Amino acid sequence: MNDKKLLALGLLLALAAAAVATAGCGDRSPVWSDPASVDATYGLNGGVAILDAPADRVVLLIPGVEQSLRIEHVPVGRHILNAQVSPRGNKLLVLSAGHRAAIGDDEADEKPSLTVIECGDGVSTQRYELTTLTDPLAGIAIDPVEERWVVLYPDADRSLAFVQNPNELVFLDLTQPPATASVVPHTLHSFGGRPQRLTFTQTLALPGGPRRLLVVESDQDLSILDIADPTNEISVPLTSGTDNRRLSPAAVTVDDGDPTRDDDARIGVRLQNDSSVITLTLEPEPGTTGFRPTVNLTDVGGVPTDIAFVRTDGGLRLAALVPTRSAAVLVDPVTSLTTEVALPARYQSLSLVTDVAGGGAGAAVDVALLWNGTTATDGVAFWELGQTAGRPYRSIETVGVVAAVADVLPVPQHPNLRVLATRAASEFYVLDLQTRTAAPLVTSASQIAFSMSPAGDQVWTYTPGAKLVVATGVADTHPRSLLIERSVRGVFEVENGDGRFALIVHPGGGGGVTVYDANTLDDDTRRLYSSVLTGGPYK
Amino acid sequence: MNRNRMTRSRRGLAAVALGAVVAVTGPRSAAAQGFLEQEAASQKPETVQGTIGVRGMLIRSDGYDPFSTTDMLPQVSLAVEHPFARQGAFGFAAGVGMDYGESGSTARGTPSSFKAWRLSAVVEGRYYARSYAYGFARFAPGVLRSAAVLTDDSSPNGNQLADHFDLISADSSLGAAFRVSGPANPVAAWLCVETGYSWAQSHHMYLTPAAPERDQAKLAPVDLGTISPRGAFMRFALAIAY
């Protein structure tokens, strides 16, 4: 071998070595470099779901015997826009924008999609491709009654589409399998408004047959659609053509009226910027919809903060709370006559509790719970809508809660109980609607958060960011604290075939979870999990 | 000389063992063979050789992804060998080698590191093409001790999560060495370049936080999948022989 060959051999080896070095310049998924976060965590009936947006996946945490934890990775469409839990808590719906592959793009083209993840005895996934959309609508509204219908609507906060039709809705029937499901787009007959809220009604007895409606509130008008056939639409402008004020709806309430009649279903509307309430009575009319809304506008003397249809001795009324007058106003939807009822405090919210605090379902008169007062000691009150001692609608009974109640939380499986979250968040109450008593529970920290057990026998109280978690029995109001080593982001009680478990989710790092047996709450049998989001594989 | 008295069978064995190197260097004339044998015989035999170098190893395994942004595991290498059985242009060496390397990265925002410490026996066949250059083929079976670590804020008390594991490994490689010291210098310095394949067993990583025995049952491991720490490698080294 001459020197040239020897040099060539040396160079060959050096090149081979350099090739090894070059080949090592990484094919790891960029997802590994994106921090994990447990900020978007959802409690489902059988487990807990964490939205892992950088990895385009949902991580399901399913507890099992002896506080084991099965971690399942469910891939969803690329570029997650929105996610929502269905009202019954058995499904998670994830809306994704997909990916539009340019020429030479390494990644395949992917249409916008809606992934429905069901977590029960097992995990099942269905992905609906939204092939009719290029720029998907980012808002999701789920039918709370049957969980059948999903309506996608424009959400300017989540979408970056260059041109967007704010009145476009897309209807999807989840009872259809993805292969045959049709995506039905519909544009509202807008008078210039943009949809703000969507309300699904129960089945209403309407002219032409019972139907379910979708009520869409825009910032200046109202649209009423037949869910099964969105082309059957009636839009109602709230602003008179002779008036330059723009009336914006703040909330709606719906009542079917007499179940034997099909001409008395009503929609009540309160306004953000006006002291009037609007009643729409859906009366028969020949045409495609079969009904026509008759509009009644009634001034209640102040901007109402809550409305509900209530049954009184005098018949159906639309009740409006007017805190500026420290009063409730009852509006007769037929005559528009009003009756003002003075209240002991400036309550801003009401909920009907007739089922347990009144005469039960089908009672002739309703009982309402009043709450959310404007001062720190307003508490709650029961409002009987019947006649008492000759004073119609004036039977108001306060409960000894000396705090402003910010929220009234239902307790699953216990219709007679409510948890009252106070505005000061330094205490809460367990309210028994039947005995009309409220058991106070005082906390040493403020900014407390709540979650309920599916069995409704305990309420979980915790302070986000701290290490404090307490389970309080709603029957005996006995608090039991948990031993928590890491800061808490959320607490979820999960019940499945293996038992009842409390999953305490911890932020930081790859996300942690502490699993307790929710029956025993025994510290010795708890298990601590770390980095639940760290594991791959990633695309 | 004693080496020249090596039996024909031993010479044949050496030729078979270094066949690969011979194939690369190609045929050479009998005159050149005689020249090399004379040249080799004129040098003082080396009895011990120490090597220090840097090594880069390509780990394609997905299990390595949490610990490095690239597939490269940088390492330092140390070896001590005893050259023996020199016969003409052929020679053998044996010894022990050690490679240590670590890489660090973030895995979904969590600081991570991977450490690998390999102890191996080294068997090396050499072909001296010149007095200042030789090619070699090396085989190095050994043990790979590794540690995969996450420093996770979500772990109890912010402790590290770690998995320490031992694997059987074997390296095979080809290389060349060039003498950079003068022929008269009794201490020879060689620059070596080497490339090959490093094999090791696979291991499923379960990272656990450190805790007293009584608490172990409360702490669940983190499953980071299977790592196969094997792949092509290259090494640049400086060898000092005496």
**Per-residue pLDDT averaged across A410-428, rounded?**
87
Q: Is the pLDDT higher at A256 or at A377?
A: A256
**Could you count the other beta carbons within 10 Å of the beta carbon of residue A25?**
11
Alpha-carbon distance of A151 to A147, in angstroms, equals: 11
pLDDT above 90: percentage of residues in chain A: 51
**Confidence bin at A323 (pLDDT 50/70/90):** very high
A45, pLDDT greater than 70? yes
A30 touches chain B (CB under 8 A): no
Residues of A in contact with B154 (CB under 8 A): 486, 506-512, 530-531
- Lookup: tokens for B140: 């190095």
Rounded to a whole number of angstroms, the distance from the CA of A22 to the nearest CA of chain B is 9
**Per-residue pLDDT averaged across A516-531, rounded?**
94
* Domains observed in chain B: 51-241 (2.40.160.20)
A34 touches chain B (CB under 8 A): yes
3-state secondary structure at position A17: helix
The per-residue pLDDT for A325 is 92
Give every residue of chain B whose pLDDT is below 50, as ranges.
1-41
* A301 neighbors A340 (Cβ within 8 angstroms): yes
The per-residue pLDDT for A363 is 76
**Per-residue pLDDT averaged across A269-274, rounded?**
92
A507 touches chain B (CB under 8 A): yes
Rounded to a whole number of angstroms, the distance from the CA of A222 to the nearest CA of chain B is 46
**Per-residue pLDDT averaged across A339-367, rounded?**
86
The per-residue pLDDT for B183 is 83
* Nearest beta carbon to residue A536 from set B62, B110, B193: B62
Closest by Cα among A370, A392, A376 to A311: A392
Alpha-carbon distance of A62 to A496, in angstroms, equals: 9
Which of residues 388 through 407 in chain A touch B, CB cutoff 8 A? none
Closest by Cα among A369, A361, A352 to A309: A352
Q: Say which range, A8-22, A94-108, A279-293, A307-321, has the weakest mean pLDDT.
A: A8-22
The per-residue pLDDT for B114 is 97
In three-state form (DSSP H/G/I as H, E/B as E, the rest C), the secondary structure along B37-68 is HHHHHHCCCCCCEEEEEEEEEECCCHHHHHHC
Alpha-carbon distance of B127 to B177, in angstroms, equals: 10
**Confidence bin at A24 (pLDDT 50/70/90):** low
Let me know if A518 is exposed, middle or buried by CB neighbors in 10 A (0-12, 13-18, 19+). buried
Alpha-carbon distance of A530 to B207, in angstroms, equals: 9
Largest Cα span, chain A: 123
The per-residue pLDDT for A195 is 87
**Confidence bin at A2 (pLDDT 50/70/90):** low
A477, pLDDT greater than 90? no
A134, pLDDT greater than 80? no
Q: Say which range, A240-249, A385-394, B164-173, has the weakest mean pLDDT.
A: A385-394
The per-residue pLDDT for B40 is 47
**Per-residue pLDDT averaged across A138-149, rounded?**
91
The structure's pTM equals: 0.85
The per-residue pLDDT for A14 is 67
A377, pLDDT greater than 90? no
* Domains observed in chain A: 76-187 (no CATH), 192-296 (no CATH), 300-442 (2.130.10.10)
The per-residue pLDDT for A142 is 94
The per-residue pLDDT for B4 is 42
Alpha-carbon distance of B103 to B64, in angstroms, equals: 10
A213, pLDDT greater than 80? yes
**Per-residue pLDDT averaged across A282-296, rounded?**
86
In three-state form (DSSP H/G/I as H, E/B as E, the rest C), the secondary structure along A138-197 is CEEEECCCCCCEEEEECCCCCCCCCCCCCCEEEEEECCCCCCCCCEEEEECCCCCCCEEE
Alpha-carbon distance of A173 to A176, in angstroms, equals: 6
The per-residue pLDDT for B156 is 76
Residues of B in contact with A28 (CB under 8 A): 65, 68-71
User: Which value does ipTM take for this structure?
Assistant: 0.78
A20 touches chain B (CB under 8 A): yes
Strands A139-142 and A229-237 turn out to be unpaired
* A174 neighbors A117 (Cβ within 8 angstroms): no
Alpha-carbon distance of B11 to B48, in angstroms, equals: 23
- Lookup: tokens for A190: 């807008």
A6, pLDDT greater than 50? yes
Mean residue pLDDT of chain A comes to 87
* Nearest beta carbon to residue B154 from set A5, A9, A510: A510
**Per-residue pLDDT averaged across A423-432, rounded?**
84
A39 touches chain B (CB under 8 A): no
Mutate which of B57, B108, B153 to disrupt the A interface (most A C-beta within 10 Å)?
B108
A246, pLDDT greater than 50? yes
**Per-residue pLDDT averaged across A17-41, rounded?**
78
The per-residue pLDDT for A161 is 66
The per-residue pLDDT for A157 is 72
Sign of the dihedral through C-alpha B41, B43, B45, B46: negative
Under an 8 A CB cutoff, do A17 and B194 touch? yes
Strands A68-75 and A229-237 turn out to be unpaired
* B117 neighbors B98 (Cβ within 8 angstroms): yes
Residues near A87 by beta carbon (within 8 Å), at least 6 away in sequence:
A142, A144, A147
The per-residue pLDDT for A159 is 66
The owner of tokens 């979408």 is: A159
